[in-house]
Amino acid sequence: MSQLREAVLRKKERLIKKLLALGVYKKDDLHLYELTLSDIEKEYNKEIERKK
Tens-level pLDDT at each residue, the chain (52 residues): 899 999 999 999 999 999 999 999 999 999 999 999 999 999 999 999 998 8
**What's the pTM value of the predicted model, to 2 decimals?**
0.90
Q: What is the count of structural domains for the chain?
A: 1
Rounded Cα–Cα distance for residues 32 and 49 (Å): 19
Question: By residue range, what is the domain housing residue 21?
Answer: 3-51
Rounded Cα–Cα distance for residues 52 and 10 (Å): 26
The Cα angle at residue 15 between residues 14 and 17, in degrees rounded to 5: 65
Query: What residues are paired with 31 via a beta bridge?
Result: 26
